[in-house]
Structure 1
Amino acid sequence: MNLTKADKNDIHQVFEKKFLYPSEDDTTWPWPTLATSTQENNWNDEAFSRLRDQLNVCKDSLSDKDIKAWHAHTTVTNLAGSVCSTLRSNFKPELCTQAWCKFFEVLWSYHIVPLDDPELFTVHLCEAPGAFITCLNHYLANTAFTGKWRWVGTTLNPYYEGNDLAQMIVDDRLIRNTLPNWFFGDGTGNIMDNNNFQEFLQVIKSKGSVKLVTADGSIDCQNNPSEQESIVAHLHMCEVFTALHVLARGGSFVIKFFTMFEANSICLMYLLVKFFEKVNVFKPATSKQGNSEVYVVCLNYLGLNVCPEQEMLDMLQNIIFSESNLPDCLWDMSSIPVSFIESHFQCCRLFTGWQESVIKNNLRLYPCSVSMKKKLDVMRYHCCNEYLSRYPCHKIPHCNRLVNPYNLFIQNDDFLSLNFQTKHQGTFTQRMDYLSLSWKDQLNHFDLNEYKLPESSTVPLTKMKSSSPRNKSQLQILSGKPFSVIYSSRLCVIKLLDDLNTFLENCDCSAYLAKQSQSHFVHLSNTIKSLFDGSKTQTPLTSLVCCLKDDWILSELQIKELDTFQVDESSQDVPSWPFTMFVNATSSLGCLGKGEIRDKRLLLSKIMFALQNLKPGDNLIILTHTLMTRYSAGLILLTNDCFKKLEFHTSPARLSLLQLLVFSDFTSCHSNTAQHLQDINHWYETPKPNLQSPHDILEVISTENSADDVPFYNMVMGQNVKLLKSFLYSVLSLEKEHFSADG
């Protein structure tokens, strides 16, 4: 099929969406002044408002489109839609995503890195999953660069259980294999936190002169697309301010923006024009043409000292990194020249016009006819060729890759390779309608069958001992910002965790639990007894049971048939013949969803006591909570190293998030492990006057070594899924019964 002149023009236009701001060579613009009054903060311009409203009206026409069907349609109409798959197939780049393809365009279009630099140092903000980094590596290997390249990335930490998934990319295929290059500060990786910002500056300054900073950050705004610009404004401010403080003179800065109608966007663009010789706005061909995404490419950084008022920068820093809300307008808008605002409006009008044109064309073609699909296939083919002619790409040898490809793309469905990202479904209107429903009506959207466990789920999960003792490099204490709710976990299906938090927030689960507490203890007692008669385990445990005195749960359990004795935790008066120790690492029955966090020190103390008092051949039973954090899963892994076998048993009392861990045949506690547990305990008992904010232990086994224990973590994930499904099934059943009874 031959292309018409109009078709060729459409392809050409995809690659030519650019705007260059006037520079100081063309005009002299003064430094702005900070807004000091409410009147200055309430700046509004009718021309920008009309432009914003016009675009929102256009985007509102998509509200009734199913997100999955519409995405499939725009994939067909996207002229550059074949580029990414072609690059993957022909050149095998690492982590080849749309972001990779977009940044490859930026690198070739603006030559933002000095290829003759013997020491190239780059910084990448809000970088997960790391496509800009792998793209830059590929670009350098494809060009004449012969120097040494070093880089540092920072992003919201995909391993930090207190981070909100809606604001975070959790794909860690590159991150876990290059962890020494990543900065996470207090463990969160939040560059909008002032303490993290200050620490980051010190880390970067100690490493050398930064020639390039990229910032590809965003926040999920699909449930509020009309407010995308204001939602991400604070993040953009922090990204820009960080770049200005770490870049060396002459360096380049690339940041992702969206629409730029609001006052603070204008303030930010004016700041960039004052600090850089050239400021470009660029819409890459491989950026979906119907979205608002653009990249601002800033060249030849002039340095912080070009600003005549250091005091103004200090005040700006205090405003941007304060915990209070960002003001609607940073500058006194009367101090920004009309000529700049006119240039900025021209830029906004250009990109808005292009976006509206694409959206209207996509609507016109929806649904796409067979003949039109064939024509678009041909256009995508030619567009892909145009991309490769403009931006030459070649394979790079394995020795030039950042990560061994067999490590980067793990083939098995295990906890390392699962996609933990949540996906939006349905139309925008349907999602908004759902959010406005009462809890009673929302319950109708939950299906009991989703949480029903198969009969095979009663079979305990079993893990054998790790192959060899751990070295000291694996046994590391990582501390950081405490969290009170587990919002994300590498050790659980993320939808179940979302559902758990939703139910705990909306249901009176404690009241349900209180009514069933007695039956819970009966079930738990029967489960414990069954471990000793062989009906629950492959080999029965020794019937002599050692318990700790003054444990709150002992008076509730009914295990009189077993030969039990009790000891004080301080006396260590244990028998010389084989026995099974039972320890309770829970402080109460009612700390639903938060028990794992609340009882983390209790788990440590019980494990330490057990490992100090058991002898070869003894067994251990631990009653504990879920294992969704690196901390608790790490402690159990250390314990597992000391036994020949571990079995996970879910309590049959379904309205519970407790489980029994049965460790069989104690061998020994390696000196490295014993010392590490002592170090963890010492960390908690030692005052920390130098810390500027509260800290807690987040990790006790290095994440870098997690691949070595894939079978164990797979078992933990499987058990967490069973616990959460069982709990959610019970709560959902009770909630439906409750509202049904109320009519």
Structure 2
Amino acid sequence: MNMAISKNYDYQLEETLHKEADSLFHKRIDISSNDVYFLPRTEYLFVSRQWVIPELQKIKTKLNYTKSLLNNFELTNWQLHTAKRNKAGSVQWYVKKTISPEFVTQAWCKFHEIICTYPLISYEAITQQEFTSVHLCEAPGAFVTSLNHWLKTNRPEVSWNWIATTLNPYYEGNHLNGMIDDDRLIRHTLGNWCFGDDGTGNLLKLENMDSLINRAKKWNNVQLVTADGSINCSDSPAEQEDVVAHLHYCETIAALHMLSTGGSFLIKIFTTYEHKTVCLLYLLACCFDRVSITKPATSKEGNSETYVVCLGFKGQQFVSPYIALLRQYYENPSDLAMFYLEHIPAQFIEKIIESALMFKEYQCKVILCNKASFENQGEDGSQPLLPRVLRLKDIVAKKYVSYCNLRRLKSSAHRVVRKNINLFSNDSEFDRYKKKHHSHSFNERIARKQMLSSEPYNSLVDLCFEVRNVLMENFKYKINGIQLRDLPGKLWICCGKKFKMINSSKFCTDEILEIRKIFFIAMENLYLELELPSSENIEKAKMNIKDMPSFKCLVFKYTAIYPTSMVIQQFYEKLKVLEEGEGLFLIGYSLLTQVNVGLLHLIANSFHSVEFQATPELGYLIILRNFKRSYKVQRLFIQLVDASDLAESEDKTILTIYPICNLVDSPFYNHIVELNHWILKLMIEQALENINRNIPMI
């Protein structure tokens, strides 16, 4: 009897789990389908005061209250916990195991689910067997590889062109917390990426959008635009929608510029409580035949992320009367609402409220369930997953593969990157240096900011401990005899916007860069400056070099920002006066930027070998030995000087001179990363030492 009851119970449980899994694939709602909506005349746009819809504000308040219950949870532990309990958490692993796609990520899975649910590729594109897609805010690039997989397994006869843009992971002026710097796909498909007129990849700049539009005109058949952008809202989670609203506006206006008639637009949004989002959705409802909001099964249940699917674009003729006005607020958002509330039909508002309530209920239910299980963990933070959760994850993963009708690519030639390169893991040496680190809770991050402002000295002490924890073990203070013979046939010169602060770098881990940024803020709050190397130590070094007649030197400071044009000119002038067999000392030469590392590569081709020596007095010395005049190097330097002069005349700067692949795969790379980490440790220690000795810093 008991066995019979057990079997019946297992059957019922299995049926319940399958129903729960099925429900994950049906979280969507049409907000416009076969509805005829009209845009008001242009004189009625951006003239209304801001307005609110009380029903939506009540939903927002309830959601934010639920989210606020997590404020004291340490972020890394919370994310690990919710990842374990994510019902779709096994999908990515299962897809990788059974289908082995190219560069599968959560974004890959989300896009594939959406394209298998909605006809993103229009019938016209399929019949013409050719189309172009444009991907906005696309890093690291999984929408591209997912679309490619769908096309190759479902419509192999269709010829496809694609362009993508994102914040440039190689532009050192971009902030780490504002971009995704995973470049595994980007570095192998650089020809398909457009970083705009200024090289930043910032889509919020009109000149960069226009640069992308002009690039897309080459094919004149853009049938799909995707926009997967977001902005880091970890320090203001309650106002996520308002923080990202202008980015969504810019993504939408860019899409309206480029799409061909009948095309599709896919954009990630979050909540829909404020007038900016309601107006944007109404604009889309007027410009497309059908607009839906969906939350894929593979989108984390506990967040506010949803996707707006827009099908059947009405064409450039339809939007052209509004484009000039919409462009006026592209860089500087209006303080007024796009539409009067009374110009938006009541039935549309009702759909928005219905959608907002539905997705809020989904999210709150998951947050509260995860919170309860998180608080019931053991003292060591561990909690074995219930068999029910494990079984549900397994069911969802198998249903996903079936739902999307996933199949393997027939050939590696069908991949986006056709070389023998594994995009599942970073194939550069940089990945060796990425270390896990503690992610503070929301309240801890706020306290840390307050401490940086009110107790900058204590912040420096904390930074000193942090930097020691991430330094490489067995750091070599001297590296001898590196030879470099990688002189290119021509330089790969890219120009763009000037920057005053190094905010990102491929020659340093993200954590070290964050410590570096906080260090300079702390020093500024203490009204102090650090000079490294000091003028005194530089003069001592120069005196020593005078006793070495076969050497000359170039002097910089790690704590100063030098115009690229000046650095290029100094190298060029020094090359002209060096004699055969002489050596060159580089003192205080920073190796955080592509240009500086590229210049070292270029000039090293005129020397027999390169050495690095780390010293507390000077930082690290770069010693180039045994100069041999190379007319090819000199010719490339002349080309570089001319390019730099042209960039300066346009108020720009040279951003890189070598392809990034060459720089991260070079024999220099490992040493450069270690030296950049070590120099930051030295800067912090010297700053603390000078403060403790009450030595004024110049």
TM-score by length of 2: 0.89
CA deviation profile, 1:668-695 (whole Å, cap 9, x unmatched): 3242x22221022123334877x5xx21
Displacement, 1:507?
A: 1.2
- Number of the residue aligned with 1:660: 621
Q: 1:317 to 1:103 in 2, by over 3 A?
A: same
Task: Give me the whole-angstrom Cα distance separating, in 1, the residues matched to 2:532 and 2:351.
Answer: 68
SS of corresponding position for 1:161 = coil
Task: Give me the whole-angstrom Cα distance separating, in 1, the residues matched to 2:459 and 2:486.
Answer: 50
Alignment of 1:251-266 (within 5 A): 251-266=263-278
Does the 8 A contact of 1:125 with 1:216 survive in 2?
A: yes
SS of corresponding position for 2:625 = strand
Task: Give me the whole-angstrom Cα distance separating, in 1, the residues matched to 2:75 and 2:26.
Answer: 28
- Number of the residue aligned with 1:552: none
Does the 8 A contact of 2:532 with 2:683 survive in 1?
A: no
**Corresponding position: 1:681 with 2:690:** no
Read off the aligned partner of 1:617 and give its amino acid letter: G
Does the 8 A contact of 2:140 with 2:183 survive in 1?
A: yes
Task: Give me the whole-angstrom Cα distance separating, in 2, the residues matched to 1:477 and 1:255.
Answer: 33
Alignment of 1:161-180 (within 5 A): 161-180=172-191
- Number of the residue aligned with 2:5: none
Select the residue among 651, 656, 661 that pairs with 1:699.
656
Does the 8 A contact of 1:415 with 1:491 survive in 2?
A: no
Read off the aligned partner of 2:289 and give its amino acid letter: E
Does the 8 A contact of 1:463 with 1:715 survive in 2?
A: no
Displacement, 1:170?
A: 0.3
Displacement, 1:226?
A: 0.8
- Number of the residue aligned with 1:544: none
Read off the aligned partner of 1:31 and give its amino acid letter: P
- Number of the residue aligned with 1:712: 668
SS of corresponding position for 1:109 = coil
Does the 8 A contact of 1:215 with 1:254 survive in 2?
A: yes
Displacement, 1:728?
A: 1.9
- Number of the residue aligned with 2:224: 212
Q: 1:696 to 1:372 in 2, by over 3 A?
A: closer
Alignment of 1:419-498 (within 5 A): 425-437=439-451, 438-440=454-456, 441-443=458-460, 445-448=462-465, 450-451=467-468, 457=475, 459-462=477-480, 464-472=482-490, 475-498=491-514
Select the residue among 602, 610, 622 that pairs with 2:566.
602
Read off the aligned partner of 1:259 and give its amino acid letter: T
SS of corresponding position for 1:365 = helix
Unpaired runs of 5+ residues, structure 1, are: 526-556, 565-578
Read off the aligned partner of 1:43 and give its amino acid letter: W
RMSD of aligned residue pairs (Cα, Å): 2.9
- Number of the residue aligned with 2:135: 124
- Number of the residue aligned with 1:67: 75
Does the 8 A contact of 1:443 with 1:736 survive in 2?
A: no
CA deviation profile, 1:104-139 (whole Å, cap 9, x unmatched): 101100121144442121110000000000111111
**Corresponding position: 1:407 with 2:424:** no
CA deviation profile, 1:37-68 (whole Å, cap 9, x unmatched): 88x32312211111111100011111122222
Displacement, 1:35?
A: 6.2
Task: Give me the whole-angstrom Cα distance separating, in 2, the residues matched to 1:87 and 1:142.
Answer: 15
Select the residue among 325, 330, 333 that pairs with 2:338.
330
- Number of the residue aligned with 1:15: 25
Displacement, 1:649?
A: 2.3
Displacement, 1:736?
A: 6.8
Displacement, 1:305?
A: 1.8
Alignment of 1:191-270 (within 5 A): 191-270=203-282
Does the 8 A contact of 2:42 with 2:325 survive in 1?
A: no
Displacement, 1:79?
A: 1.1
CA deviation profile, 1:203-250 (whole Å, cap 9, x unmatched): 111233111110000111112111111111111000000001101101
Select the residue among 49, 58, 66 that pairs with 2:66.
58
Displacement, 1:560?
A: 8.4
Displacement, 1:561?
A: 7.2
Task: Give me the whole-angstrom Cα distance separating, in 1, the residues matched to 2:203 and 2:473.
Answer: 47
Read off the aligned partner of 2:597 and give its amino acid letter: A
Read off the aligned partner of 1:165 and give its amino acid letter: L
Unpaired runs of 5+ residues, structure 2, are: 1-9
- Number of the residue aligned with 1:31: 40
Select the residue among 537, 541, 544 that pairs with 1:520.
537
CA deviation profile, 1:627-657 (whole Å, cap 9, x unmatched): 111111111110111112101223422xx6x
Q: 1:373 to 1:165 in 2, by over 3 A?
A: same
Q: 1:427 to 1:118 in 2, by over 3 A?
A: same
- Number of the residue aligned with 2:194: 183
SS of corresponding position for 1:56 = helix
- Number of the residue aligned with 2:327: 317
- Number of the residue aligned with 1:636: 600
Does the 8 A contact of 1:415 with 1:490 survive in 2?
A: no
Task: Give me the whole-angstrom Cα distance separating, in 2, the residues matched to 1:122 and 1:62.
Answer: 39
SS of corresponding position for 1:249 = coil
Task: Give me the whole-angstrom Cα distance separating, in 1, the residues matched to 2:527 and 2:36.
Answer: 67
**Corresponding position: 1:729 with 2:693:** no
Q: 1:468 to 1:357 in 2, by over 3 A?
A: closer
Q: 1:517 to 1:637 in 2, by over 3 A?
A: closer
- Number of the residue aligned with 1:272: 284
CA deviation profile, 1:386-445 (whole Å, cap 9, x unmatched): 111111112212111112464344978854435769977132222222223323454454
Of the structure 1 ranges 712-721 and 726-735, higher mean CA displacement relative to structure 2 is found in: 726-735
Read off the aligned partner of 1:626 and give its amino acid letter: S
Read off the aligned partner of 1:464 and give its amino acid letter: I
Displacement, 1:482?
A: 0.6
Read off the aligned partner of 1:660 and give its amino acid letter: L
Task: Give me the whole-angstrom Cα distance separating, in 2, the residues matched to 1:379 and 1:455.
Answer: 43
Percent identity for Structure 1 against Structure 2? 30
**Corresponding position: 1:339 with 2:347:** yes
CA deviation profile, 1:352-393 (whole Å, cap 9, x unmatched): 111112212222333369786211001111111211111111
Number of residue equivalences: 670
CA deviation profile, 1:261-303 (whole Å, cap 9, x unmatched): 1100001000000010000111000001111000101111111
Alignment of 1:277-426 (within 5 A): 277-307=289-319, 310=321, 312-322=322-332, 325-327=333-335, 329-366=337-374, 367=376, 373-396=386-409, 397-404=411-418, 406-409=420-423, 414-417=428-431, 425-426=439-440
Task: Give me the whole-angstrom Cα distance separating, in 2, the residues matched to 1:300 and 1:227.
Answer: 32
Read off the aligned partner of 2:395 and give its amino acid letter: H
Task: Give me the whole-angstrom Cα distance separating, in 1, the residues matched to 2:611 and 2:76.
Answer: 41
Task: Give me the whole-angstrom Cα distance separating, in 2, the residues matched to 1:17 and 1:686.
Answer: 54
Read off the aligned partner of 1:583 and give its amino acid letter: C
Displacement, 1:468?
A: 5.0
Does the 8 A contact of 1:479 with 1:696 survive in 2?
A: yes
CA deviation profile, 1:680-738 (whole Å, cap 9, x unmatched): 2123334877x5xx21111112335445x421222222222221221122224545777
SS of corresponding position for 2:501 = coil
Task: Give me the whole-angstrom Cα distance separating, in 2, the residues matched to 1:704 and 1:371.
Answer: 43
Q: 1:294 to 1:422 in 2, by over 3 A?
A: farther
Task: Give me the whole-angstrom Cα distance separating, in 2, the residues matched to 1:85 and 1:616.
Answer: 58
**Corresponding position: 1:562 with 2:547:** yes
Task: Give me the whole-angstrom Cα distance separating, in 1, the residues matched to 2:83 and 2:116.
Answer: 25
Read off the aligned partner of 2:329 and give its amino acid letter: I
Displacement, 1:520?
A: 2.7
Task: Give me the whole-angstrom Cα distance separating, in 1, the residues matched to 2:432 and 2:235.
Answer: 25
